[in-house]
Chain A
Amino acid sequence: MPPTASSPLSGTSSLLAVAGRGLATVLLCAVITALLALTVPGRWDQHAVHSFGIGLTTWAVIDGGRAWLTRGSAIPWPLGWRGWVLVAAGTSLGFVAGTMLANAYGMHTPGSDQSIRSGRAGYSLVLGMLATGCMCLLFYGRGKAAHLEAAIARAERSATEARLQLLESQLEPHMMFNTLANLRVLIATEPARAQRMLDHLIDFLRATLGASRTGSHTLADEFARLADYLELMAVRMGPRLTFALELPPALAGQPVPALLLQPLVENAVRHGLEPQVGGGHVAVQARIEGPHLLIDVTDTGAGLAHVHEPGRGHGFGLAVVRDRLAAVYGAAAALAVRPNHPEGTVATLRLPLGTLPA
């Protein structure tokens, strides 16, 4: 559903745009008046009435008709046959109105033509159509450029917002404070374990916050980052979380986008295991199938049909992964999610083997 173009600013800016087009029309009518005065016999003021009558009427019908036809739509020009019919209607109405006005003017002004003769009528119709055609193209072109610029600005803003949201979610306060709380306990009771936990936290934060988000690294590095996250969660959840990571040595060097799997593992823990009183098991396994690399993220948790926590649900993480796959691999990669048996979820990533597309 295209967004409506309304905003507090668009009212004033569209008034300015209308005024701009009106001015351009007036200028064109003036030029045509001069042209008629030089090439066609008759009083220049009648030419003026004729030209301005045609021009302003044509413009009013086309611009007004356009605004009315596209009210509530994002694209300010009627699509398809409607656009052509609008231009034809504008031109004809303009021609008729302009000629009638010129004739009426002529009736009241001594020494002018009582009625525009057919030859001249034909001449002015052709001129009118040409002028209208040029102006429509001009306005259409400028309108389209403005529309595209606005669309680019919107896309940039939403990309920035998405990046901010992603960062915020990675630094999720609940996760941070609970992790630090556990770390504090370990410092007193098991200092060596506390140090290892802190190392995992440092690596996790460096990967999350660092520029490596937009780059790529080896599958071995990817699995190491997943291990950081899972180790932190395992300290917090105690016996409620067990996990296993399986990476065949042959695949260790395979490049993948950095932290591609992170949202899937987070889903498995947060939406699969955390809500379940007994917790469960998470497994991440990579294997080769023909020309493809397959990675499974499996959990024995609450499953897809589970009524999830308010806020960001399961679907957000999947959407993030799918967007990244599309951006990097296009149609060559896929993510499939299905229920695990007897309980839980399996998310399977299918990637082409080899270097990443440029």
Chain B
Amino acid sequence: MNAATALIAEDEPLLAHALAAALGEAWPELQVLPPVGDGRSAVQATLACAPDVLFFDIRMPGLGGLDAAAELADAWAGTGKPFPALVFVTAYEQYAVRAFDAQAVDYVLKPVQPARLARTVQRVQAALAARALQAGTAVPDAVLAQLRALLMQPACASAEPLRIIQAGLPGGAGVRMVPIDEVLAFDAADKYVRVLTAGDDYWLRTPLRELQQRLDPQVFWQVHRGTLVRAAAIATVDRDAAGRLHLALRGRHDRLPVSRVHAGLFRAM
């Protein structure tokens, strides 16, 4: 059996090298690839080299560890290789540490201590051995479910529910007050968020995460890193040849992609 390979994604250089050194002690046969410092590079390196284990820091510039894992889940269908074992590295995540307790995805606290790392290494080795027997290339459902749980924002109890959106008109022509009931979806573009209605589209500067804290999660579902959709406005959910899901909204022609992590929301009853 070939030696297992690992990729470390960590933006603080001292910590990246320390983790590599600690892994060298705990798992000498593991080949550690050169570390990357941000989520985008982590996605590219993983797709290029297909490592067996990923050690992702949660907070990184640009794309964070959780979002990078979600993007990899989306992109994995074409690679034909088994999905890597995922280990998240975190200094302090008050709400997420409990979410890590499930088996699908493991975590390591910073500063990395040898005893805890040894336990993680054992679990990863066991997971890799089990995976070798399965020879499947799909992303395990348990991993997707856990990523979805980790990506959910903690509820902000003090946030006022959103009733009217002050949205910009296209071309900066002014502002329109859009009642929340007219909004079908929010779709994040580069530096702004598109507001989709049955009529025109508008735009907002508020980040999607901030909007999400003021919206009822039963009414607006997150279906992608940058997309919130009013569940009641979804007309159909189709699966394409590659197995990816797309939504069609009532009264609109365009279709919105659903990421693999959130695809579990749309199973037939």
Co-complex (A, B) = yes
A residues lining the B interface (CB < 8 Å): 173-174, 176-178, 180-182, 184-186, 235-240, 274-277, 279, 305-308, 310
* Cβ-neighbour of A275 out of B37, B41, B61, B94 (below 8 A): B61
Nearest 4 CB-CB pairings of A with B: A181-B111, A177-B91, A238-B13, A181-B110
Please name the residue on chain B nearest to A173 by beta carbon.
Answer: B92
Are B15's CB and A181's CB within 8 A?
A: yes
The SS class assigned to the B binding surface is loop
Interface string of B69-92 (1 = CB under 8 A from A): 000000000000000000000011
Judging by beta carbons under 8 Å apart, are B91 and A178 in contact?
yes
Instruction: Please determine whether A185 and B18 come into contact, CB atoms closer than 8 angstroms.
Output: yes
**What residues of chain B lie closer than 8 Å to A185, measured between beta carbons?**
14-15, 17-18, 111
Interface bits B246-268 vs A (CB < 8 Å: 1, else 0):
00000000000000000000000
Q: A235-B14, A305-B191 are in contact. List 4 more A-B contacts (CB 8 A).
A: A181-B111, A274-B61, A306-B191, A307-B205
- B52 CB within 8 Å of chain A: no
Contact A310 B207 (CB under 8 A): yes
| Residues of B in contact, count (CB < 8 Å) | 27
Q: List chain A residues, Cβ under 8 A from B112.
A: 181
Give A8 to B38 CA distance when docked, in angstroms: 50
B:36-71 near A, CB below 8 Å: 37-38, 40-41, 59, 61-62
Q: Which residues of B in the span 80-120 have a Cβ within 8 Å of any Cβ on A?
A: 91-92, 94, 110-112
Chain A, residue nearest B112 (CB):
A181
Interface assignment of B12: CB less than 8 Å from any CB of chain A: yes
Known contacts A177-B92, A182-B12, A236-B12: A310-B111 contact under CB 8 Å: no
Name B107-157 residues within 8 Å CB distance of A. Answer: 110-112, 153
User: How many Å lie between the Cα of A279 and that of B38 in the bound state?
Assistant: 11
Given known pairs A185-B18, A186-B14, the reply for A174 and B92 (CB within 8 Å) is yes
**Complex contacts, B110 vs chain A, CB 8 Å:** 177-178, 181
Contact check, B12 vs A277: say whether CB atoms are below 8 A apart.
Answer: no
**Interface contact B14-A182, CB-CB below 8 Å:** yes
Give Cα A238 to B12, complex, Å: 7
- Give the distance to chain B from A158, nearest Cβ to Cβ, in Å: 14
Q: Are A275 and B14 in contact (CB under 8 A)?
A: no
With contacts A177-B91, A177-B92, A181-B91 taken as known, whether A307 is within 8 angstroms of B12 at the C-beta atoms is no
Among B15, B40, B41, B213, which residue has the most Cβ atoms of chain A within 10 A?
B15
Contacts of A277 in B (CB 8 A): 37-38, 40-41, 61-62
Which residues of the other chain, A, contact B59 by a CB distance below 8 angstroms?
A: 174
Chain A residues, Cβ within 8 Å of B13: 238-239
Residue ID in chain A nearest B153 by CB atoms:
A310
How long is the Cα–Cα vector from A277 to B42 in the complex, in angstroms? Answer: 12
The interface residues of chain B lying within 8 Å CB-to-CB of A180 are: 111
Is B11 close to A, CB under 8 A? yes
B182 within 8 A of A: no
A241 to chain B, nearest CB (A): 11
Closest to B22 in A: A185
CB of B205 to closest CB in A, whole Å = 8
Distance of A278 from chain B, by nearest CB (Å): 8
Q: Give chain A residues whose Cβ lies under 8 Å from the Cβ of B153.
A: 310
Chain A residue with the shortest CB-CB distance to B41: A277
Cβ contacts B155-168/A at 8 Å (1 or 0 each): 00000000000000
Residues on the A chain within 8 Å of B11, using CB: 237, 240
Answer whether residue B209 sits at the interface, using C-beta atoms and an 8 A cutoff: yes
6 A-B pairs whose Cβ atoms sit less than 8 Å apart in the complex:
A173-B91, A177-B91, A180-B111, A181-B111, A238-B14, A274-B61
